[in-house]
Amino acid sequence: EQQQYPEETVNIAKSAFTAGVVGWLYGGLPAFASARKAFIERSHGELFQNRADAVQSAHRAGLRSFIRYGWRWSWRVTAFATIFNVVSTGLSAYRDKTTISNFAAAGAFTGALFRMHLGLQGLAGGIVFGAVFGIPAGGLLMAMYGLAGETLQEKRSRERRELYEQRLAEWQSRLSVTEVLGQTENNAQGRPEMDRAREL
């Protein structure tokens, strides 16, 4: 059998990647537009070889801002989403059920972690902010699970049950083969003794 990563781990990695892309776009696109606009406003007096050179210079300025500010937002959003998902998934796996309180606790923990450098007020604000935004995020995720038909816990228990039934059937078939072989062996050993008894 191939060793596969648990579905929860794969989902955390996918959400981290998605959060990184969304954060990059969220930070990068406005920065691209404003840097391009600022470059155009600043460079009215500059001489360019042609229109294409001017457009290319404006795009280069925008691209530099897209990369710089996109990266700043990307790693923060990725870290926030990953910590939130790790905590909520850990709570769901530990409690073996998915509830809104798991997401509220994950949001509170993540918010507190990101705001603890601001002192006790920042920590309290982060807890409240995270819990308030964790509840709708959890509700949305639970609604998506409902549309999918089963939660990860239900799917995991169903797969465990199916695997158990499959292994039980394999074990029983091996046991029946062993019994048939044992009977065949006994019959084969019993015949020469019967032949000897007849000769005497």
Note the pLDDT tens digit of each residue in 52-109: 777 788 888 888 888 888 899 999 999 999 999 999 989 988 888 888 889 999 999 9
Closest CA to 93 of 37, 11, 32: 11
Where residue 195 falls among pLDDT bands split at 50, 70, 90?
Answer: low
Q: Where are the chain's structural domains? A: 1-94, 98-149, 154-200
What pLDDT score was predicted for residue 37?
Answer: 83
**79 class by beta-carbon count within 10 Å (0-12 exposed, 13-18 middle, 19+ buried):** middle
- Assign 46 a pLDDT band (cuts: 50, 70, 90): low
CB 20 within 8 A of CB 77: yes
Residue 194 has pLDDT above 90, yes or no: no
DSSP per position, 113-149: HHHGGGHHHHHHHHHHHHHHHHHHHHHHHHHHHHHHS
Question: Which one-letter amino acid corresponds to residue 160?
Answer: R
Ramachandran sector of residue 98 (left: φ over 0; alpha: ψ -120 to 50; beta: rest): beta
Q: What is the pTM of this model?
A: 0.69
Cα 166 to Cα 149: distance, rounded to the nearest angstrom: 23
- Per-residue pLDDT at 116 exceeds 80: yes
Query: Tens digits of per-residue pLDDT, 158-186?
Result: 888 888 898 988 888 877 777 776 677 66
pLDDT of residue 45: 60
